[in-house]
Amino acid sequence: MLQGKRILVGVSGSIAAYKSALLVRLLVKAGAEVQVIMTEGAKAFITPLTLATLSKRPALSAFVSNPATGEWTNHVELGLWADALVVAPASARTLARCAHALCDDLLSAVYLSAKCPVFFAPAMDLDMYRHPATRDNLNRLQSFGNQLIDAEFGELASGLVGEGRLAEPETIVQTLVRHFAKNSVVAGKRVLITAGPTQEPIDPVRYISNHSTGKMGLAIANAFAQAGADVTLVCGPTHLPTPDASIHRVDVRSAQQMYEATAEAFPKADLLILNAAVADYTPLHPAEKKIKKKEAQFTIELGKTVDIAATLGSQKRPGQLLMGFALETDNEAQNALDKLERKNLDWIVLNSLRDAGAGFGHDTNKITVMDRGGAVQVFDLKTKDEVAADLLALVVEKWGNEVKV
């Protein structure tokens, strides 16, 4: 959502200015073009060189950039250039400047010239943050249509504990992502995702499972949630937390439970992504009590589990899209294509255990994506967040083409 977006980052005089370095880095990493504007007070806490290096642009602070030649910084042009202005940290003084149009520094002049959405992320001590004058300025700025990224609760530079901490850079980036997602083709789409392993009980203390951690599925759920989708995540046993508060998570254990939860949500889904590593077989007669170690050999009778992809693929209505995953060890491409056809999928995402860094347990993955039209896309080894972004881009392209038609 931030790829190619032009973001102005205003940095004012606050001890929290050190966090602006990470904010700039995250925005640049997300593909945004970043221009930093600093107040004079900000320079006491972080150097222009640091922010210029991270943003790959000079950090601006003066109206006249070169007194010898009279070269000036065009605040009007900056205000027109940006897709968003985020002031982080926004000190009490900067909030007052902008709220009352004092326009006595470059940042406040750019704010008054901005035609784009503006976000203020306050940072100050708790009593300053609570003061009626500060609250009045915040309310005033919001009444102009600006958006507030609330300060967080925690230990402050004064040693006191309370509200006033600058929102974490990740939170600020997520706020910007959500803003730009509102007008994307993903916004409001209902996306159903399965993730993690299943556990098939042998007795009350043992089960059959696999090495899936759920990392890939949760990364995909996070990517679609941040793009504005209404995400339901049906998740097998994993220690990983839900990455985005907007995700509706349904925790399950067995293959049967995963099927039932997925089938219930499927009729309303625009897209189903089947990333979970679902057991193909389950014990037919789980013991009610712990099985004691007695026999030299022990046999467990297994039965097939429901094939979630094939079952729901056969029920797919016009307009629904299905994406499946195939983890293979041999004859990878043919096995994946067979699965694509048999299960009526629109895409199949192939992993091979023969690729270093791919498969279960890694923070990286290497995928090949095949679609029903015969297209094959081979991706390099990437982090699972980057892989999720690539899959999101494929779906966005598909939905975007449908909108054009």
How many Å separate Cα 297 from the centre of its chain?
Answer: 48
Interval 228-285: pLDDT, tens: 899 999 999 999 999 988 999 999 999 999 999 999 999 999 999 999 999 999 999 9
- Say how far apart CA 43 and CA 18 lie, in whole Å: 10
Nearest to 248 by CA among 108, 264, 373, 239: 264
Q: What pLDDT was estimated at residue 405?
A: 42
Q: Work out whether the CA dihedral 204, 207, 213, 218 comes out positive or negative.
A: negative
Q: pLDDT digits over 95-109, tens only?
A: 999 999 999 999 999
Which domains, from first to last, does the chain contain?
6-181 (3.40.50.1950), 190-400 (3.40.50.10300)
Distance from chain centroid for Cα 255: 27
Give me the mean pLDDT over the 369-377 stretch: 93
pTM over 0.75: no
Binding site per annotation, positions for CTP: 280, 290, 325, 339, 343
**CA 395, CA 117: separation in Å to the nearest integer?**
27
Closest CA relative to residue 57, chosen from 32, 40, 75, 79: 32
Q: Which of 66, 74, 137, 210 is catalytic?
A: 210
- Backbone torsions φ then ψ of 223, nearest 5 degrees: -60, -45
pLDDT at 280 (0 to 100): 96
Residue 133 has pLDDT above 50, yes or no: yes
pLDDT class for 404, splitting at 50, 70, 90?
A: low
- C-alpha angle 297/302/307, rounded to 5°? 155
CA distances from 30 to 3, 349, 381, 385 (A): 6, 23, 18, 11
Evaluate whether 321 touches 272 at the Cβ level (below 8 Å).
yes
Among the residue ranges 91-100, 125-134, 346-355, the one predicted with the least confidence is 346-355
CA–CA separation, 192 vs 268, rounded Å? Answer: 9
Annotated binding site: 280, 290, 325, 339, 343
What pLDDT does residue 341 have? 95
275 an active-site residue?
Answer: no
Beta bridge partners of 365: 382
